[in-house]
Amino acid sequence: MNKKDKKIVSNLEIKEEKEMLKSLKTNASHSSGYSKSIRRINPLGMRVVVRLLKDRNLSEGGLYLPEGAKEAMSESLLAEVIEVASAVDMDTDEEANISGVPLAAKVLIPKDCGTRVPWDNELRIVETKDILAIVNEISIT
């Protein structure tokens, strides 16, 4: 391929990329009229961010309970750790978990502990001293 052919190919590629970007912008402006932002919470100190896990609405006898009835009776809630406090190690430049609670661990927390996140009712910022236990699920066959 000579220089002229290479230039034509690169011009075609640039033109295709511009058309793709233009169509993406057009589709985005016609879709909903607003942009979506994502929030990430980085807990400070000895805190973790947990997402409350929904429990099945069954009593021990197998009866279905109304929404919220089981939560009203329980003293603790099951949650999953979705973010932990971290610090950067100066020697290795790696982030280290300083909270002591593993990421993605299932934990038991008191029903009324932690700070609720205003934009998501399922999220709470919890101090590690308030975590009652780490729950390990084992499948028995």
Quick one: which of 85, 78, 89, 77 has its CA closest to 41?
85
Angle, CA of 112, 118 and 120, to the nearest 5°: 85
Confidence at 10, pLDDT banded by 50, 70, 90: very low
Q: pLDDT tens digit string along 84-127? A: 998 888 888 888 888 899 999 999 999 999 999 999 999 999 99
Tell me the C-alpha to C-alpha distance, in Å, between residue 104 and each of 49, 82, 135. Answer: 10, 6, 11
pTM for this structure? 0.64
Using alpha carbons only, give the angle 116, 122, 126 rounded to the nearest 5 degrees.
Answer: 45
Is pLDDT above 60 for 58?
no
> How many whole angstroms separate alpha carbon 80 and alpha carbon 52?
6
CA distances from 7 to 3, 4, 12, 16, 97 (A): 6, 5, 9, 14, 51
pLDDT score at 106: 95
pLDDT the model gives residue 110: 95
Cα–Cα distance, 120 to 39 (Å, whole number): 11
Higher pLDDT, 39 or 132: 132
